[in-house]
Amino acid sequence: VSGLHGGCVTRPSDKVRDYVAALCAVRRASDARFDLPAGSTRARVTSANARLQAACEHRDRLRRSLTNEEEAEAETIAARKTR
């Protein structure tokens, strides 16, 4: 449940939900890359970088289809999920 519209509680649109999922995927990929231990192999680091890059590109593609209001709504929802 994300907001009010005409006194009724509304659910986020599919675009917003997809963007929230993409934001969470970027967070997970970033955390996984950050959590690599010192001395990790080049292959592990390269793979983690590639996963993070792919997640960021997907997030950016979805962002281009959102209005500023939808993006703000998604950011709010994603922030609540990461607390």
For 28-54, how does the pLDDT look when each residue is reduced to its tens digit (9 = 90+)? Answer: 999 999 999 999 999 999 999 999 999
Secondary structure percentages of the chain, helix, strand, coil, to 5: 70, 5, 25
pTM of the predicted model, to two decimals?
0.81
Neighbours of 65 (CB within 10 A): 11
Q: C-alpha distances in angstroms, 35 versus 29, 30, 31, 32?
A: 10, 9, 6, 5
Smallest CA-to-CA distance from 56 within 17, 13, 15, 19 is with: 19
pLDDT at residue 24 is higher than 70: yes
Residue 82, token pair as written in the block: 């990461």
